[in-house]
A and B are shown apart, each in its own frame.
Chain A
Amino acid sequence: MVDAVQQQWSPNFAGEGSRASQRQAGLHRLMRRRSTIAFIMCLPLIVIVAGLIIYPAFYSIFLSMLNKSQTRFIGLGNFTYLLSRDVFWMVVQQSAIFALSAVFFKALIGLITAHLVNNLPSKGQRKWRGMLLVPWVIPLALSTLGWWWLFDPTHSAINWIIKGVGGEEIAWLSDPYWARFSVILVNVWYGAPFFLIMYLAALKSVPEQLYEAAAIDGANAWQRFVHITLPMMRNIIAITVLFSLIVTFANFDIVQIMTAGGPRNMTHVFATYAFLLGIRSGDIPLGSAVSLFMFPILAVSAVLILRGVRKRGREIA
């Protein structure tokens, strides 16, 4: 009887077993594949990006299409409303001035400093690299608070020094144009070390033989820079500019802490204006619409810059 039962069941058992072992082997193979391991290791990051970036981004798009009380779908109503407002156009203009000038000066200062540091003897270089990176590693809110104290409308430390040497006080934050200058200055101070470190890495990767060959051909320093250094760094410059453009366009802390958008709304950027409308005035859909205006601008810049990078990559290949 036992045999009969065994005979009756054994083929099935054998089948199950082989299927299980096949499955196990498949799983084993899957796990041994590099892409699977990579995917599993990236999974926590993917979950975080999906939960904290992708979902809020789509939710923000959804919110921007609701009316003020979030009870009715109004399509592009918030966007067309914004386009008809003078203050909004001023914010667009200011965001562009803020981001473009800050990125330009960060790139310029980063490039010059990277060259200077690269030409230092390797013994002292590490010290300088560390010191120059300090602005970038201090939490931005804290360092901006420090700058705000330096520019304080009534008790500015910088003005105290200027007065001490016989100069006239500068209305750093109370004059709209000086206020624009001040927020850009702080952004440049904070962001230039990022360019420095990227450019320094790029400079170190330029083969020394190219410079030697150029020197034999009689090229001077400027010619070596224009014809060797710059072409070899173009991709890094492009990617760094893109990253910085994205971060600078979306900047909130510096403007919010130093001027909160004033005087006369003349230092507002997209993020601070979105905060003013969305959180302080309680119009979350309109605030979302303001913040989404950054998206097409950044998307176009990203496409253009990355297309250039790909093109150069193909040329090199």
Chain B
Amino acid sequence: MRRSITRRSVLKSAALGSAAVLAAPYVRGAYAAGKLSLGCWDHWVPGANTTLTKLCNEWGEKNKVEVHIDYITSQGEKDKLTAAAEAQAGTGHDIMSHRDWNIQIHQRTLESLDDVANQLIKENGPISPVAEYLGKIKGVWRGIPTSVGSQVKPCCSRLDLYKEHAGIDLRDMFPADESKYDKAKTDLWTWDLYLSTAEKLFKAGYPVGLPMGQTSDAVDWVGALFKSYGVVMVDEKDNIKINSPETRQALEYLKKLMAVNPPEVYAWDDAGNNRWLISGKGSSIMNPPSAWAVAKRDNLKVAENCWTHAMPSGPKGRFVGQLPQFYGVWSFSPNKSAAKDLLLYISQRDSVRQLVAASSGYDLPSFKSLHDFDTWKTVEPPVGTVYSYPPRGDEQTSMAGAPARSEVGAQIYNQAINTVMVSKFTQGGEKLDDVIRWAEKELEGTLRA
């Protein structure tokens, strides 16, 4: 017998349905969000994607949401092109990973994630100032910093070569236990000492390899050096400050340092310095542990002598270039609440621990309280080689382009104004005043609305 649908039964069902929807916290109601799609950065460490997929699927099963992940390579900026296309088209993945300045670039099409960020800050304590600078735009968190693909670029040096040719025991200076750091020893590690050791290593036939092209490895280490010399390109109030004694001092220093680098550093991309170290020709680079990880596979003898340690300090402190990655939720996503819940889940301490382990310590969380995972203590060879990869002691993170407004900073960073300045002065032989004048004009251009 067919049941007839009465006005009363329809109203009753509608009322029950509405109550269920309103009562559901995020997506925990069965199948409330349906599907969720992610466009994630394709990790170069084998197995790292699998761990992220596993975590997302765990969350999906728990919440009855079908999760689909597309891993998009950053080779040729394919991930940035995809994000730009999705932002222009107003359709695409629900969650998208964004590198460096992409949160600022897409701020108008990204959902506020204040609730997720504040929850994570409550759980984990203070967040890296660089992550805040890049992810919190005009007081609103538009991206959640993730450990996946996030990195700093400290020194990665050859223990044997530094000991033999420069007389420095890096393992003694930066032991694999922060409690054993001796301030008297670490304070010795300055840019001046770095230069004098670089000169000795150059003479010995093992130069340091510091890229001076226009890609992020070059921009980041020069940004960190500028910061440690107190160079400000543009301040928070749009004042161009590049014409300063600090800039002149930093450039004069760089002239001496670049003279003891191989001449090809001006053409290196982000893989150039890795290859330099792995080949056995180089004594030190400034990079995440990717070079060491590849050396472990391709040239074990080099890997066994690699030691990641803090950057040298300058007159204004010790800084290391940081490049965090973020997850953003598009404002046009139909599944925002589900997306936020997933982001919260994969940002939990235990999830981050798994992600860091899967990347052999390459991924670096933006919360200092998450820098105590065993991975950095245990990976080898040699044991403790990447212990000092997360900033320890007095090392602080920096971002080339900061403290300018992020719109301005993005232009400064992506157009590599700092490394072009250095190249003009060191390789091009241009006069210091001309280089500074050129930089002033370029910086003026970055201020346009």
Contact = CB atoms under 8 A, between A and B. Distances in A.
Do A and B originate from a single complex?
yes
A281 B445 contact: no
Contact of A262 (B76, B77, B266): B266
B104 A260 contact: no
A280 B272 contact: no
Residue from A155, A259, A262 whose CB has the most chain B CB atoms within 10 Å: A262
Contacts of B441: 85-86
Contacts of B177: none
Interface size class of A (residues with CB under 8 A): 35 or more
Contacts of A256: 76
A174 B266 contact: yes
A281 B410 contact: yes
A153 B84 contact: no
B213 A260 contact: yes
Contacts of B259: none
Contacts of B88: 284
A87 interface: yes
Contact of A174 (B77, B102, B264, B438): B264
Nearest to A88: B445
B88 to A, nearest CB: 8
Interface in A269-286: 275-277, 279-284
B267 A276 contact: no
A3 to B, nearest CB: 50
Looking at chain B's contact residues, is the secondary structure mostly helix, strand, loop, or mixed?
helix
B445 A153 contact: no
A153 B427 CA distance: 15
A34 interface: no
A282 B99 CA distance: 12
B81 interface: yes
A260 B427 contact: no
Residue from A172, A277, A279 whose CB has the most chain B CB atoms within 10 Å: A279
Given A85-B445, A264-B428, A281 B415 contact: yes
Interface in A216-268: 256, 259-265
Nearest to B441: A86
A68 interface: yes
Contacts of B268: 153-154
Contact of A281 (B263, B275, B414): B414
25 contacts: A67-B449, A69-B108, A81-B445, A85-B442, A153-B264, A153-B268, A154-B268, A154-B279, A173-B267, A174-B265, A256-B76, A260-B269, A261-B214, A263-B267, A263-B427, A277-B415, A279-B80, A279-B81, A280-B80, A280-B414, A281-B105, A281-B411, A282-B106, A282-B414, A284-B84
